[in-house]
Amino acid sequence: MFSKFGFLASAEAGASPVIPKPAEIAVGFIAFGILFLLIRARAVPRFEKAYKDRTEAIEGGLERAEVAQREAAEALQMYKAQLADARGEAAKLREEARAEGSVILEQMRTTAQEEATRITASARTSIEAERQVAFNSLLNEVGALATELASRIVGESLDDVARQSRVVERFLEEVEKSK
């Protein structure tokens, strides 16, 4: 009865299943050996290579991204610095220009003032001179004229007012003409 259920069936089926057949041990050994050599030579190195490449690709990508980010940040910093510089420069220039402008303005004003003063002074001087000349000549002429007029009036009759005024008018006309 029991013999029908397996291990003790060796009587009808030959050897018990727990007794190994040497040929099968050898086959198992050799077959596994072949597979092992094949896998070691052709599969594992390539899987490892794929791993390595992938790791490098990912790490390389991250590294490159990091470098790019750093560079971008540096560039931004630089541009900001440059912008600040430029702004400062512009402000300075404006300040300088303003200062310079006011200096120039001041100078010009002073110059103009001086010029004006000088012109005024020279004008005054020349006017004074001319006046002096005119005065001198007038003085001479008036003297002469007065003398002439007096002689004329004296020459004519002094009692006639109309005549007198005629004499004066005539005299003035002559003076006018003689000029």
Instruction: Return the residues of window 16-45 that contact other proteins according to CB under 8 A.
Output: 16-36, 38-40, 42-44
* 1 interacts with other proteins by CB under 8 A: no
Instruction: Return the residues of window 54-83 that contact other proteins according to CB under 8 A.
Output: 54, 57
Answer yes or no: are the C-beta atoms of 143 and 150 closer than 8 Å: no
Among 50, 86, 112, 139, binds other proteins (CB under 8 A): 50
* 6 interacts with other proteins by CB under 8 A: yes
Q: Tokens 């003398």 map to which residue? A: 147
Give strand ranges (E) for the chain.
none
Nearest distance from C-beta of residue 63 to other proteins, angstroms: 16
Tell me how far CA of residue 87 lies from CA of 21, 74, 79, 93, 101, in angstroms. Answer: 94, 20, 12, 10, 20
Nearest distance from C-beta of residue 68 to other proteins, angstroms: 21
What's the CA gap between 133 and 42, in Å, rounded? 130
CA dihedral 61, 66, 72, 73 (to 10 degrees): 170
Nearest distance from C-beta of residue 66 to other proteins, angstroms: 20
* 49 interacts with other proteins by CB under 8 A: yes
Q: Tokens 């259920």 map to which residue? A: 5
Nearest one of 42, 24, 22 to 34, comparing CA atoms: 42
Nearest distance from C-beta of residue 85 to other proteins, angstroms: 46
* 7 interacts with other proteins by CB under 8 A: yes
Q: Give the interface with other proteins as residue ranges (CB under 8 A).
A: 3-7, 9-10, 12-14, 16-36, 38-40, 42-44, 46-47, 49-50, 53-54, 57
